[in-house]
Amino acid sequence: NAGVTQTPKFRVLKTGQSMTLLCAQDMNHEYMYWYRQDPGMGLRLIHYSVGEGTTAKGEVPDGYNVSRLKKQNFLLGLESAAPSQTSVYFCASSWTSGSQFFGPGTRLTVL
């Protein structure tokens, strides 16, 4: 099992560009999450999903959109990137009663 994978691992964008981060899990988990991690801020929840076709806002959803068209995939979109979105992005997934498993992270820099 690959567990939770994220694509890409690194990305550099210019202000105003758009991109999509892909998260995939092969553990048949119902729940998936997107976090951002900034120095000294810990992990902050952006959006999450409790099942295929569902999404919900987390702590810091502004400037991001998500989609969960397939159970195994959770996409995070940035429509118009801003320097404040420079961060490390982690995806995670969990079963209904289990702990969260994290992906390796995506390091995004917005110039």
Partner 1 sequence: GENVEQHPSTLSVQEGDSAVIKCTYSDSASNYFPWYKQELGKRPQLIIDIRSNVGEKKDQRIAVTLNKTAKHFSLHITETQPEDSAVYFCAASKASYDKVIFGPGTSLSVIP
Q: Identify which range of 13-21, 60-68, 75-83, 96-104 contacts partner 1 by CB under 8 A.
A: 96-104
Gap between the Cα atoms of 18 and 13, Å rounded:
8
Q: Identify which range of 9-17, 18-26, 55-63, 68-76 contacts partner 1 by CB under 8 A.
A: 55-63
Question: Please, are residues 25 and 72 in contact by the beta-carbon 8 Å criterion?
Answer: yes
Give SS3 for 85.
helix
Gap between the Cα atoms of 84 and 103, Å rounded:
22
Q: Which position among 24, 25, 33, 108 is part of the footprint of partner 1 (CB under 8 A)?
A: 33
In this complex, which beta carbon is closest to partner 1, that of residue 81 or of residue 92?
92
- Write down the least CB distance from residue 48 to partner 1, Å: 5
Residue 73, classified by CB atoms within 10 Å of its CB into exposed (0-12), middle (13-18) or buried (19+), is: middle
User: Of 35, 43, 29, which is closest to residue 73 (Cα–Cα)?
Assistant: 29
Q: Compose the 2-21 pattern: x for residues touching partner 1 by CB under 8 A, - for all others.
A: --------------------
Site of interaction with partner 1 (CB under 8 A) = 30-31, 33, 35, 40-45, 48, 50, 56, 58-59, 90, 94-105
